[in-house]
Copies of this chain bind each other. A is one copy, B any other.
Amino acid sequence: MTPLRILKRQLPYRPTERMNVVSYPIRDIVMEAKREEAKGKKMIYLNIGDPPQYGFKPFTVIADKVKSALDESYKGYAPSEGDEQFRKTVAKIEKCNPDDVFAVAGLTEGIDFFFHAFVGFGEKILLPNPVYPLYLSKAKQFEGESVFYRHDANGQIDVMHLAKKIEGAKAIVIINPNNPLGSVYSEKNLSEVVELCAENDVPIFYDGSYDQLIFEGKPVDFRKIARGTVPFIYGSSLSKVFCYPGARIGWVTFHGDKWQEVKNAFFLLCNQRLSVNWEYQKAAAAALTDPSYPAYLAEIKKKLVERRDTFVKMARDLPLSFPVPSGAFYAFIKIETKKWKKDIEFIRAALQKGVVFVPGSGFGRQEDGVYFRTTFLPEPNVIEEAFTKIRRIL
Contacts and interface: CB of A to CB of B under 8 A. Distances in A.
Contacts of A134: 272
Contacts of A50: 76-77
Given A24-B271, A105-B248, A13 B70 contact: no
A229 interface: no
Interface of A: 1, 4, 7-24, 27-28, 48, 50-53, 57-58, 63, 66-67, 70-71, 73-78, 80, 105-106, 108-109, 112, 116-123, 134, 137, 140, 142-143, 145, 164, 201, 203, 231, 243-248, 257-262, 264-265, 268-269, 271-280, 341-342, 367
A140 B164 contact: no
User: Quick one: which of A106, A109, A112, A201 has the most chain B CB within 10 A?
Assistant: A106
B15 A17 contact: no
A161 B119 CA distance: 33
A145 B140 contact: yes
A279 B279 CA distance: 12
Which 9 pairs, one residue from A and one from B, show the smallest C-beta to C-beta distance?
A: A20-B122, A17-B121, A15-B265, A21-B122, A52-B76, A27-B271, A16-B120, A17-B120, A24-B271
Contact of A261 (B14, B108, B143, B271): B14
A21 B117 CA distance: 11
Nearest to A270: B27
